Structure 1
Amino acid sequence: MVFVALALSLLLATSTVLGSPIARLHDPFPPTPKTPKGLLCNLPIPMVQKLLCPRQIANSDPAVITPLGTAHGVDDTANAVRFAVRYGTAARWEPSSVVTSWQLPNGNTNASSLPLACPQDGIDEDAMSEDCLSLLLYVPTSISPGSDVPTMMWIHGGSFTQGSATFPGLDGSNFAAATGSIVAVIQYRLGALGLMAPNGNMNLAVQDVMTAMNFLQTVLPSFGGSPSKITIAGQSSGATMIRALLATPSASSLFQSAILQSDPMDYGFLSAATQQTLQTYFNGLLPCSTTDVSCLNNISIDDLLGFTDNLSNTALTLDQSVGLGEPLRVVRDGSLITTPLDDTAPFPAVSKPIMVSNVKNEAGLSIYSDNAFPDSVAPTLYDEVVEGTFGDPDTSFVLANPNYAIPPSAQNNANTDARPTLEKLGTDQIWRCPGWTFARNWIGGGGNAYVGLYVVGASYPGNDAVSFCTESGIVCHQDDIEIVFGTVPSPTSQQATLTAEMQARYKAFMNTGNPNVAGHANWQLATASDVHALTLGGSGEVAAGGCDPSFFGDVVQYDYQKFDI
């Protein structure tokens, strides 16, 4: 729905990014890193670690014998042990492979050291490295080899260009202890290094995640985990990655179930033709031929990040199907990822149980940001934004839908602010409605799906840059992360109650494929006609509104339908 986004840019003097504000709805404020303090955290100086790196203080040195060697960990809390490990190796722009021995990340010798992030904008140079295929394993002290417990493997978000296993809220010790399960928080190659190989290798980042799962298959029994009980979970582009894995036949045996939080499914996967267009442009930025491996390997990280930014900022002018939220993303290449998992092709037979969730105000970060609409939006401008996003004839359908129409009584009211309606429209278009469509398709393919909507959250670090996201009752993109992990600082009673509920539901789902537990409301399975979306943090089911199957995906098409990708 960004096919007329260029025209809209002329309307918005406040916009600094090409395209419509609705099309821009995805990770506008990537999470603020839990900053590794450069190399200081790796220095064996107790006072430095105590002041700057509290997560890295080793209270003891738990050791576990694995088929790959001895794993050394640290007591992350009184109830869980953390193990940092390098799970894979990869030459630049080549597929990754599983390590053959247990290694601490980045050549560390101290088990309390955290892995460096994959190269990305926004963090210090000494906090990142291309040698970044690492994960953090959180193991409850209550389990032992032979326990056969499930594992949640978490895939972080960040629009495929940012994020790491050490970002805020992702300490898995509380979740592990509460659920009696193992938690693995992984990293994978980002940006051009993971998705734009000059030699034509596609989906390297997806293959990295599969490498991590293969690594876990080997080592989990040593920690008391079952290789056959891996649930993959992730938020935002991490959930997009999970959808890609669900569309990858060769990954199917590596996990049993999936949890997708806030996946912007409206975008779809990139087509191979679009990927080639982007690849040709990116290769033209490089100071080397695509066959000069030595030269390609010597391009600095700073230059590569600059080339990635150039491509991201130009992508929409090269091919409008990329959108603006995830212009670099996974590709339906026909070999690894073989199906779009959407309405553009027959849906395959499926069997894995899935959970699909959204937050109430997914679009709030974008709509209310300084780059879009920091001030009130008049009804006339709202109409122009809808026109610039959807074009004809869809604009008339959207404005006629009572869920997205400004009431006649408010049209000429000087105090009317259309941003709440615009935020609702963006949330439904990009996240909620395509997620519900996906769930209905999944049921039609033979699988089980549970759908939910968070109406209680915890403001994610960095979200306070948009005051709307700090208001009572608002749950913005990312505000579900700390609820699930149990890492909300000083939680309210509502937050603590929802955390306990969601961890109990996740525990049940990881063990049985069903998130229903005693003491909590019955969570009905989605059906082909009614997804039965449960209110998470509230009561009852969520009304379909514009996500009724007769509107989005039918009268008004999703991006993946519009561009047939």
Structure 2
Amino acid sequence: MVGLVSLVSTLLLASSIWALPAPPHGLPSPLKLPLPEPNHNLFCIVPFPVVQKLLCPRQGTSSPTTVSTPLGTAQGASDSDGAARFSVKYGSASRWQESSVVSSWALPNGATDPTALPLTCPQNTTADSTMSEDCLSMILYVPSSVKPGSNAPALLWIHGGSFIVGSATDPGLDGSALAAATESVVAVVQYRLGALGFMDPSGNTNLAVKDIVTALQFLQKVLPSFGGDTSKITLAGQSSGANMIRALLAVPSAESLFQSAILQSDTMDYGLLNMSIQETLQDFFNSQINCDSTDTECLTNLSLDDILYASQTLSDDGGDISAAAGLAEPIRPVKDGSFITSPLDSTAPFPHVSKPIILSTVLNEAMPTIYSEFTDPIDSSTYTDVVNITFGTPRTERILTTAVYEVPQQTAEGTTADARPQLSNLGTDQVWRCPTWTFARNWVQNGGQVFVGLYVVGATYPGNDLIPQCLEDGAVCHQDDIEIVFGTVPSPNTAQVALTKEMQARYSSFLRTGNPNTDSFATWTPATTDDVHPLLLGGSGEASVGQCTTSYWGDFVQYDYQVFDI
């Protein structure tokens, strides 16, 4: 069983589709998800006109536009819909040094064409010609309705990708429609990935998280020039982008830089790393690059290929190096005690909080991983083995004696039912839904307001179309909420159009007031410590509680961050 799971995990990693983290005892597991998103940056950087038109930031323009800012003249372009796009370098950083806000406005990567898209941050799934270490860039989308003096809100979107892939040019992240619908300035940002963002050989952690702080500081300088209000900045992101926001919510020095947050599909079960785990991973990475941590010349002269190879090795072997780190996201934010001061989970006292937040998950978060891992039906014996490998003792016994997770029984015909749906539901509850609801209760109990949602309508994200189960009616897989929010669904159906309209209206209200309710849609009741009131997004009413109770996940069956005390 271990050999099969390890082999499939290796194949999936090699294809840059999914990576699986490690369970207790360091064994690979299909339930320790999360999902590094398929990387399609190459489609947006090099000329694939059909793909660019459907998925990527618009590159055709109708007219140039300029805006005077304190950092100089911003060069952008207006598209046929009247939204202006500004690609810009927001920060500078030498290799493994903290970033700082640029002193003057500049197009990314020395470009002279204002329609040029930024090169991605270095990552193993992208061609050398489409990436650069000089990658601290963002794309600003400003609708024609927002002008200097408008005091419009702003939304800063942080892309996902398990901290090792992704960019501001990922599929579906064209912010024009979202900016126009919400009458806000939308900024889509990129940040250093992998070892370059988290594994400074000298031990300085969280460089990528600090990049987002630099991006926020940049917005503080330039937003008024575009009609934006610096007191109304909301952070939003999906998957590891949401994880990044959770880390920023625990950064006291960033408190004044944004007013609210939207976290979509955060893998909260894993928790932030602690310094002990980080130091173990750091030692391993340093051993791979053959440079002393104080040898500046050696570190400077390391080839990018060597760094990416060492970073990938760390990502692949993370669960063997430290079981608590896991294979999927061993490279992630670290509670270092000075910059990030709280784990924001149940392993330590939760700090007093005040920001309003939205927390959402989708119906079938774990489906892509489970059905990629197991392309054929699995029987009850395999199901039991997978649960045991994933959870160990005593969690396995407790899970398998719970009705909704128990071993599937034989069908009327005498054959064992396919256990993959059971496994998918268990993974969704473990990694996403239930820890998100626990986080919501903690947030409310300690002073904040939170609105919880569950997407039951989505739009198949590129990559998920390779998984037949994600194409079935009613399935909403991890990432299938992205194009709904951005309004970039190709050929949307009636339900998708309606949900896009609703979510953009709710986000518009939330950006301004911290409350996603509008007169046009059903009341979204804020969570309490007893009832999180999870609104069905695309459906009607609230989601059933299931096993996401205070007495089950986090108590009777502990989360990973509790098991590993991270």
Which residue is equivalent to 2:149? 146
Which residue is equivalent to 1:439? 440
Which residue is equivalent to 1:110? 113
1:65-93 superposed Cα distances (whole Å, 9 cap, x missing partner): 00000001111341311000000000000
Aligned residue runs from structure 1 range 85-96, under 5 A: 85-96=88-99
2-structure distance, mates of 1:343, 1:544: 20
The 1:363/1:313 distance shift into structure 2, 3 A limit, reads same
1:286 is matched by which residue type in structure 2?
A: I
Question: Cα distance, 1:294 vs. partner?
Answer: 1.7
Identity over aligned residues, as a percent?
58
The 1:170/1:385 distance shift into structure 2, 3 A limit, reads same
1:445-481 superposed Cα distances (whole Å, 9 cap, x missing partner): 1000000000000000111121111111111100000
Residue 176 (str. 1) matches residue 169 (str. 2): no
Which residue is equivalent to 2:398? 397
1-structure distance, mates of 2:5, 2:151: 56
Aligned residue runs from structure 1 range 88-237, under 5 A: 88-237=91-240
**Equivalent position SS for 1:478:** coil
1-structure distance, mates of 2:169, 2:140: 12
**Equivalent position SS for 1:457:** coil
1:245 is matched by which residue type in structure 2?
A: L
1:484 is matched by which residue type in structure 2?
A: V
Which residue is equivalent to 1:426? 427
Which residue is equivalent to 2:19? none
Query: For this pair of structures, how many residues does the alignment match?
Result: 549
Question: Cα distance, 1:518 vs. partner?
Answer: 1.1
2-structure distance, mates of 1:382, 1:470: 24
1:14–1:373 contact (8 Å) kept in structure 2: no
Q: Which runs of 5+ in 2 are unaligned?
A: 11-21
Question: Cα distance, 1:225 vs. partner?
Answer: 0.2
2:404 is matched by which residue type in structure 1?
A: N
2-structure distance, mates of 1:153, 1:169: 15
Question: Cα distance, 1:315 vs. partner?
Answer: 1.3
Which residue is equivalent to 2:452? 451
1:119–1:129 contact (8 Å) kept in structure 2: yes
**Equivalent position SS for 1:316:** helix
2:291 is matched by which residue type in structure 1?
A: C
2-structure distance, mates of 1:28, 1:351: 31
1-structure distance, mates of 2:379, 2:56: 48
1:179–1:503 contact (8 Å) kept in structure 2: yes
2-structure distance, mates of 1:57, 1:270: 43
2-structure distance, mates of 1:28, 1:543: 28
1:129-161 superposed Cα distances (whole Å, 9 cap, x missing partner): 000000000001111101000001000000000
Aligned residue runs from structure 1 range 346-361, under 5 A: 346-361=349-364
Question: Cα distance, 1:14 vs. partner?
Answer: 5.7
Question: Cα distance, 1:349 vs. partner?
Answer: 0.4
The 1:380/1:199 distance shift into structure 2, 3 A limit, reads same
2-structure distance, mates of 1:399, 1:168: 39
Aligned residue runs from structure 1 range 77-92, under 5 A: 77-92=80-95
1:232 is matched by which residue type in structure 2?
A: L
1:23–1:324 contact (8 Å) kept in structure 2: no
1:375 is matched by which residue type in structure 2?
A: D
1:161-203 superposed Cα distances (whole Å, 9 cap, x missing partner): 0000001000000000011011000000000000000011110
**Equivalent position SS for 2:319:** helix
Q: Which runs of 5+ in 1 are unaligned?
A: 1-7
Question: Cα distance, 1:483 vs. partner?
Answer: 0.1
1-structure distance, mates of 2:31, 2:201: 28
Pick aligned residue for 1:299 from 297, 302, 325: 302
1:307-342 superposed Cα distances (whole Å, 9 cap, x missing partner): 011111121111110122211000000000000100
Deviates more, 1:16-25 or 1:313-322: 16-25
1:170–1:485 contact (8 Å) kept in structure 2: yes
Question: Cα distance, 1:51 vs. partner?
Answer: 13
The 1:257/1:498 distance shift into structure 2, 3 A limit, reads same
1:172 is matched by which residue type in structure 2?
A: G
1:415-474 superposed Cα distances (whole Å, 9 cap, x missing partner): 510100100000000011000000000000100000000000000011112111111111
1-structure distance, mates of 2:100, 2:306: 26
1:29–1:463 contact (8 Å) kept in structure 2: no
1:29–1:365 contact (8 Å) kept in structure 2: no
Residue 344 (str. 1) matches residue 347 (str. 2): yes
The 1:29/1:205 distance shift into structure 2, 3 A limit, reads closer
2-structure distance, mates of 1:202, 1:187: 18
Question: Cα distance, 1:13 vs. partner?
Answer: 7.2
The 1:266/1:457 distance shift into structure 2, 3 A limit, reads same
2-structure distance, mates of 1:388, 1:398: 13
Q: TM-score, normalised by structure 1?
A: 0.94
Residue 27 (str. 1) matches residue 30 (str. 2): no
2-structure distance, mates of 1:508, 1:52: 26
2-structure distance, mates of 1:221, 1:54: 23
**Equivalent position SS for 2:359:** strand
**Equivalent position SS for 1:85:** strand
Pick aligned residue for 1:9 from 2, 5, 13: 2
2-structure distance, mates of 1:267, 1:231: 24
The 1:261/1:50 distance shift into structure 2, 3 A limit, reads closer
1-structure distance, mates of 2:165, 2:324: 22
1:30 is matched by which residue type in structure 2?
A: P
Residue 239 (str. 1) matches residue 242 (str. 2): yes
Question: Cα distance, 1:560 vs. partner?
Answer: 0.5
1-structure distance, mates of 2:28, 2:2: 7
1-structure distance, mates of 2:147, 2:316: 49
Question: Cα distance, 1:205 vs. partner?
Answer: 0.2
The 1:314/1:10 distance shift into structure 2, 3 A limit, reads same
2-structure distance, mates of 1:415, 1:472: 24
Which residue is equivalent to 2:16? none
Which residue is equivalent to 1:481? 482
Which residue is equivalent to 1:499? 500
2:57–2:174 contact (8 Å) kept in structure 1: no
Question: Cα distance, 1:385 vs. partner?
Answer: 1.1
Which residue is equivalent to 1:316? 319
**Equivalent position SS for 2:142:** strand
Across the aligned residues of Structure 1 and Structure 2, the Cα RMSD in angstroms comes to 2.0
Which residue is equivalent to 2:335? 332
Question: Cα distance, 1:15 vs. partner?
Answer: 2.7
**Equivalent position SS for 1:382:** helix
**Equivalent position SS for 1:216:** helix
2:451 is matched by which residue type in structure 1?
A: Y
1:404–1:421 contact (8 Å) kept in structure 2: yes
Question: Cα distance, 1:31 vs. partner?
Answer: 3.9
Question: Cα distance, 1:409 vs. partner?
Answer: 5.2
Which residue is equivalent to 1:3? none
2-structure distance, mates of 1:77, 1:20: 49
**Equivalent position SS for 1:15:** helix
The 1:308/1:412 distance shift into structure 2, 3 A limit, reads farther
Which residue is equivalent to 2:511? 510
Q: TM-score, normalised by structure 2?
A: 0.94
2-structure distance, mates of 1:360, 1:55: 30
1-structure distance, mates of 2:252, 2:376: 47
**Equivalent position SS for 1:325:** coil
